[in-house]
């Protein structure tokens, strides 16, 4: 792929918890600003690819194995075991061909996009991903944390004197709008291409990333993520030697006066329009039923984020 791609990906969270910390609260920095990590965005993408039959290395999977003391136990696979599973390798430790291991790693769609740190079976490899995604900060001022008490149908079986069923807590954001910046640099794999272990980052790789980036959050309906959906996507394709800053820092979000729709202010007119023909194309994806866009970008084409129809 002989171009770079920069963009912004937006996630809407309504009475849901897009990315919780270990206490169950929505992740926040010391100033109180709520954010979602890049891992929170990548995980639904990897789940979607896995369900589509793609090879995904860095994702939790389980196996049942016999323990001499505890019987049959279900445990998560180690990285070595996951590698052996998806690449049908009997024992990674018996593989003395590091080049073959690298070739396999690049066949995993998550590694091809996001890179990998792989230190298993005598192989020590670090791959800087062609796709880099920033932390996604909430841009909605009306965000609040809501705690819901949940009644379990069961009493605590560890307490003999327990007379009542247990209580739990579900913590959600009333409403949050996260915006992630991303950049795709195909030249990141130049050295690996020269070694012959990969053909490099291709248009097909980009299209698979784009598809998942625009729908994986909507498709990922766990208990905590129901209410989270893909809200916005901006893809700016440029010449291979054009370097742009993180575009998410220019995005702002507010609600209309009647609180019926969200307003996404792009704030990118002055920056992007100045590059003229060095910008090859701009695509914007959003839901016009719920969102209004502010800002005018030369060459920009708008599409419905769910139907992909031109607007």
Res 292: pLDDT: 96
Quick check: helix, strand or coil at residue 185?
coil
**67: in domain:** no
Tokens representing residue 217 in the block: 């959050």
Question: Residue 250 pLDDT more than 80?
Answer: yes
**101: in domain:** no
Using left for φ > 0, alpha for ψ between -120 and 50, and beta otherwise, residue 17 falls in: beta
Cα dihedral across residues 134, 202, 11, 275: positive or negative: positive
Question: Residue 249 pLDDT more than 90?
Answer: yes
Model pLDDT for residues 54-98, shown as the tens digit of each residue: 999 999 999 988 877 778 888 899 999 999 999 999 999 888 888
Asked whether the beta carbons of 42 and 213 are under 8 A apart, the reply is: no
Size of the chain, expressed as the number of residues it contains? 311
Checking DSSP bridges between strand 4-16 and strand 71-76, what pairing results, if any? unpaired
Res 272: pLDDT: 95
**60: in domain:** no
**180: in domain:** yes
Q: Is 241 exposed, middle or buried (CB count within 10 Å of its CB: 0-12, 13-18, 19+)?
A: exposed
Res 154: pLDDT: 73
- Mean pLDDT for 145-154 is 83
* Distance from C-alpha of 14 to C-alpha of 169, rounded to nearest angstrom: 17
Res 108: pLDDT: 97
For the chain, report the end-to-end CA distance as a whole number of angstroms.
27
Res 67: pLDDT: 77
**142: in domain:** yes
Structural domain count of the chain: 1
**184: in domain:** yes
Average pLDDT, the chain: 92
With a CB cutoff of 8 Å and minimum separation 6, the contacts of 5 are: 182, 183, 184, 206, 235, 236, 237, 238
Q: Is 273 exposed, middle or buried (CB count within 10 Å of its CB: 0-12, 13-18, 19+)?
A: middle
Res 162: pLDDT: 61
- Can you list the pairs that 255-262 forms with residues at least 24 positions away whose Cβ atoms lie under 8 Å? 255/140, 255/142, 256/292, 261/290, 261/291, 261/292, 262/12, 262/140, 262/177, 262/231, 262/290, 262/291, 262/292
Model pLDDT for residues 104-129, shown as the tens digit of each residue: 999 999 999 999 999 988 888 999 99
Tokens representing residue 173 in the block: 């954001």
| Confidence label for 148 from pLDDT (cuts 50, 70 and 90) | confident
| Confidence label for 245 from pLDDT (cuts 50, 70 and 90) | very high
Q: Which residue has the tokens 């690819």?
A: 49
Tokens representing residue 208 in the block: 């698979």
**252: in domain:** yes
Q: Range of 27's domain?
A: 4-54+132-304
Q: How far is CA 22 from CA 28, 171, 226, 254, in A?
A: 12, 12, 19, 29
Res 200: pLDDT: 95
**106: in domain:** no
| Confidence label for 165 from pLDDT (cuts 50, 70 and 90) | low
- Mean pLDDT for 281-287 is 97
Cα dihedral across residues 41, 6, 13, 287: positive or negative: negative
- Mean pLDDT for 145-172 is 76
- pTM for the predicted model, two decimal places: 0.92
Q: Check residues 269 and 122 and name the one with the higher pLDDT.
A: 269
Res 262: pLDDT: 96
């Amino acid at each position: 792929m002989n171009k770079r791609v920069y963009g912004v990906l937006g996630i809407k969270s309504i009475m849901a918890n897009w990315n919780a910390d270990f206490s169950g609260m929505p992740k926040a920095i010391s100033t109180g600003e709520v954010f979602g990590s890049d891992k929170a965005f990548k995980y639904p993408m990897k789940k979607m690819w896995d369900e589509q039959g793609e090879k995904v290395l860095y994702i939790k999977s389980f196996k049942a194995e016999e323990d001499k003391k505890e019987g049959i136990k279900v445990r998560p696979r180690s990285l070595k075991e996951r590698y052996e599973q998806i690449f049908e390798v009997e024992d990674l430790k018996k593989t003395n061909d590091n080049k073959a291991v690298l070739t396999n790693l690049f066949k995993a769609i998550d590694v091809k996009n996001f890179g990998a740190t792989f230190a298993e079976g005598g192989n020590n490899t670090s791959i800087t991903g062609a796709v880099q995604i920033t932390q996604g900060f909430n841009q909605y001022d009306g965000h609040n944390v809501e705690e819901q008490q949940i009644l379990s149908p069961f009493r605590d079986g560890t307490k003999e004197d327990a007379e009542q069923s247990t209580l739990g807590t579900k913590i959600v954001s009333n409403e949050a709008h996260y915006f992630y910046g991303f950049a795709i640099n195909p030249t990141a794999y130049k050295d690996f291409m020269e070694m012959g272990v990969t053909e490099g980052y291709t248009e097909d790789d980009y299209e698979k990333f784009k598809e998942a980036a625009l729908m994986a959050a909507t498709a990922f309906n766990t208990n905590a993520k129901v209410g989270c959906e893909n809200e916005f996507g901006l893809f700016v394709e440029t010449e291979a030697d054009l370097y742009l800053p993180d575009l998410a820092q220019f995005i702002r979000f507010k609600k209309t006066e009647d609180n019926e729709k969200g307003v996404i202010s792009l704030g990118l007119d002055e920056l992007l329009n100045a590059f003229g023909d060095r910008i090859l194309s701009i695509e914007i994806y959003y839901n016009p039923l719920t969102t209004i866009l502010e800002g005018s970008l030369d060459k920009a084409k708008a599409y419905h984020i769910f139907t992909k129809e031109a607007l």
